[in-house]
Amino acid sequence: MSNFNIAVLDGDGIGPEVIAEAIKVLDVISKKFNHHFEYTYAPVGAVAIDQTGDPLPEETLALCKRSDALLFGAIGHPRFDNDPSAKVRPEQGLLKLRKELGLFANLRPVAGYDELVDLSPLRPERIRGVDMLIVRELTGGIYFGEKGRKDDGNTAYDTCTYTRLEIERIVKMAFNEARARRGKLTLVDKANVMESSRLWREITRELARENEDVELNFMFVDNAAMQLILNPAQFDVIVTSNMFGDILSDASSVLAGSLGLLPSSSVGSTVGMFEPIHGSWPEGAGQDRANPVAAILSAGMMLDHLELREEANALRLAVNRTLAEGVGTEDLRPREQLGTRAFGDRIAAAV
Ligand code: IPM
Ligand code: MN
């Protein structure tokens, strides 16, 4: 019997609904394998702004720091999207959380499901065999570089800075991920233009000498965007900087057919954070329509990170089995359409 303290930051929109289903499935897993998960909820995002004026209240951050893992729902609300100049924004909560918890690596697996091949915007023959992992740097680059205005506000700048340490730790992790998969790593950059990209290449070439069992190649980001659509099955592990990873992982996320399927983990030096790739879908909130699979699979990535491998595999098997039965939420256009809660029930029962 092991005990784990899980901080639950279910956030805005559909976040709470999909996280509730993830916890439903975790409850079955914990009974079956005799673990105890202690959940503590805390606000983040627009909900936290409404309650406290701060998208990441001190108590929420303190809770995360003393937890074993962190389940995250979604953040964002249209009232901020329509006002990009708002001083306090939900996204700041997420960015601060990543930085404060040292979550420098964002892992986003993308795989096609045979049963759902018709949902993909690409032709079936291009989707079959797609199974890749995007390793996105998460606490550096243009997101966190010096930014500001000058010339009375008429010039604006965001700088992309990377240090050797920041590049080394993420590229090392990507080599290890590639080794555990099909042994292929692609560094995506813009080394024909950007100095920081040239440093990424230099360091990655150095690290390649200690990782000769992994096949390494380099690709410019514009070409990578094209290749992800033309021939996504060529990729195993992609490693890239914060902004390129943000863009490419959204592009890749639709390959599987629904954003509602894809999980992610953000890891680094301390506690790991696990969250669905999708956003808060405010229009769908409270309607029992959201697909809980991304949140459930994120809980699976959490189990892996806690080294509960058998438990993680049991969870994934339950998801695969349920999808194969042709049931699901509306985004999957299934034979048997269910609401969020009923879909979660079926997956929990399949464990
Ligand atoms: C993501 C999101 C965030 C990002 C936003 C909400 C700040 O798009 O997790 O990919 O850009 O990193
Ligand atoms: Mn994004």
pLDDT one digit per residue (tens) for the chain, 351 residues: 789 999 999 999 999 999 999 999 999 999 999 999 999 999 999 999 999 999 999 999 999 999 999 999 999 998 888 777 788 999 999 999 999 999 999 999 999 888 888 899 999 999 989 999 999 999 999 999 999 999 999 999 999 999 999 999 999 999 999 999 999 999 999 999 999 999 999 999 999 999 999 999 999 999 999 999 999 999 999 999 999 999 999 899 889 889 999 999 999 988 999 999 999 999 999 999 999 999 999 999 999 999 999 999 999 999 999 999 999 999 999 999 999 999 999 999 999
Considering its fold, how many domains does the chain have in total? 2
Are residues 243 and 163 both part of a single domain?
yes
Q: Which of 70, 80, 73 is nearest to 39 (CA)?
A: 70
* Ligand 1 atom closest to residue 249's alpha carbon, by position in its atom list: 10
310/229 same-domain check: no
How many Å apart are CA 172 and CA 259, to the nearest integer? Answer: 28
The preferred substitution site among 12, 72, 95, 265 for testing ligand 1, maximizing ligand atoms within 8 Å of CB, is 95
Quote the pLDDT of residue 302: 98
Question: d(Cα 210, Cα 203) in Å, to the nearest integer?
Answer: 12
Strand partners, 188: 219, 240
Where among 208, 230, 254 does a domain terminate? 254
What distance in angstroms lies between residue 207's CA and the mean position of ligand 1's atoms?
28
Predicted ipTM of the assembly: 0.99
Q: Tell me which residues have their CB within 5 A of the ion that is ligand 2.
A: 246
Residue 350 lies in a domain: yes
Domain at 14, CATH number: 3.40.718.10
Q: Are residues 85 and 10 in the same domain?
A: yes
Residue nearest (by alpha carbon) to ligand 1 atom 7 = 91
> 347 near 134, Cβ under 8 Å?
no
Residue 212: CB atoms within 10 A of its CB come to: 8
3-state secondary structure of 49: helix
Q: Is the residue at 123 inside a domain?
A: no
Domain assignment present for residue 18? The answer is yes
Q: What is the pLDDT of residue 107?
A: 97
Q: Strands 184-189 and 237-240: what pairing?
A: parallel
One domain for residues 212 and 151: yes
Q: Which of 198, 226, 254 is the last residue of a domain?
A: 254
Question: Binding site for substrate: residue ranges?
Answer: 98, 108, 136, 222
- Residue-number span of the structural domain to which 187 is assigned: 131-254
Of 290, 265, 289, 288, nearest to 277 by C-alpha is 265
Cα of 195 vs centre of ligand 2, distance in Å, is 24
pLDDT at res. 20: 98
Give the residue from 201, 229, 254 where a domain finishes: 254
Instruction: Note the helical H segments in the chain.
Output: 15-33, 46-52, 58-65, 78-81, 90-100, 124-127, 164-180, 195-208, 221-230, 242-253, 293-305, 309-324, 340-350
Judge if 239 and 135 occupy the same domain.
Answer: yes
Ligand 1, residues 75, 81, 91, 96: which to mutate, most atoms within 8 A of Cβ? 91
| pLDDT value, residue 2 | 87
* pLDDT value of position 5: 97
> What residue spans of 181-308 are helical by DSSP H?
195-208, 221-230, 242-253, 293-305
What is the pLDDT at residue 268?
95
126 lies in some domain: no
The answer to whether residues 347 and 306 belong to one domain is yes
Residues 97 and 62 in one domain: yes
pLDDT of residue 138: 98
**Residue 279 CA, ligand 2 centroid: distance in Å:** 9
Order of strands across the sheet with 35-41?
Answer: 35-41, 2-11, 69-74, 272-276, 263-267, 105-111, 131-137, 237-240, 184-189, 215-220
| C-alpha–C-alpha distance, residues 9 and 43, integer Å | 6
Look at residue 140 and tell me if it is in a domain. yes
Q: Do 164 and 237 fall into the same domain?
A: yes
Rounded to whole angstroms, the Cα distance separating 48 from 56 reads 7
Cα(249) to ligand 2 centroid in Å equals: 7
Count Cβ atoms below 10 Å from residue 88 Cβ, excluding itself.
12
Are 161 and 187 found together in one domain?
Answer: yes
pLDDT of 113 reads 86
Same domain, 96 and 156: no
Question: 């979604």: which residue's tokens?
Answer: 74
Q: Residue 308 — left, alpha, or beta (φ > 0 → left; ψ -120 to 50 → alpha)?
A: beta
Contact, 7 vs 40, CB < 8 A? yes
Q: Known binding site: residues?
A: 98, 108, 136, 222, 246, 250
> Given this model, what pLDDT does residue 305 score?
96
Cα(118)–Cα(122) distance, integer angstroms: 8
**Is residue 272 in some structural domain?**
yes
* pLDDT the model gives residue 180: 96
pTM, rounded to two decimals: 0.95
Ligand 1 pocket at CB < 6 A: 91, 94-95, 246
Tally of residues, the chain:
351
Quick one: pLDDT at residue 131? 96
